[in-house]
């Protein structure tokens, strides 16, 4: 099972810290300790070309407790990540556990609002 509706919004060129919840196959909080995570943004499921925003565990993603276990994915969107984006984008977090099992653990919509005052 995948945690759905992990929606958030930001403005172009804005720094934004994001925390996304995850679920396991039973709908319970998914412990991600010891695994790897990749988070990507797409224009839509029908147009799944990756956009510039990509975060990976070990460098960009921190695990945090949301529902009592390391079930939250936290990362920061930097100004360069969203400066050229505008509108609604699908996002997806894919995790691989220590045993090599892979699953989509969270999905949602990232809405980037235009900002006329950005550099």
What are the structural domain ranges in the chain? Answer: 8-113
Token duo for residue 97? 């556990």
Confirm if 119 and 81 have CB atoms less than 8 A apart.
no
Tell me what pLDDT residue 98 has. Answer: 82
- Dihedrals φ, ψ of 109, to 5°? -120, 130
- pLDDT tens per residue, range 72-96: 899 999 999 998 899 999 999 999 8
Say if residue 39 is exposed, middle or buried (CB neighbours under 10 Å; 0-12, 13-18, 19+): buried
Domain 8-113 has CATH 2.60.40.3350: yes
Provide, rounded to the nearest whole percent, the portion of the chain with pLDDT above 70: 94
Answer yes or no: is pLDDT of 105 > 60.
yes
Nearest Cα neighbor of 53 from 73, 36, 78 is 78
**pTM metric for this prediction:** 0.85
């Amino acid at each position: 099972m995948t945690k759905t509706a992990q929606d958030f919004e930001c403005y172009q060129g804005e720094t934004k810290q994001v925390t996304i919840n995850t679920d396991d196959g039973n709908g319970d909080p998914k412990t991600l300790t010891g695994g790897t995570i990749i988070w990507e943004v797409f224009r839509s499921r029908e147009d799944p070309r990756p956009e510039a925003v990509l975060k990976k565990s070990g460098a960009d993603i921190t695990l945090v407790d949301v529902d009592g276990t390391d079930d939250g994915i936290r990362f920061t969107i930097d100004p360069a990540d969203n400066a050229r984006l505008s509108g609604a984008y699908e996002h997806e977090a894919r995790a691989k556990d220590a045993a090599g099992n892979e699953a989509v653990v969270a999905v949602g919509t990232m809405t980037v609002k235009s900002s006329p005052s950005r550099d």
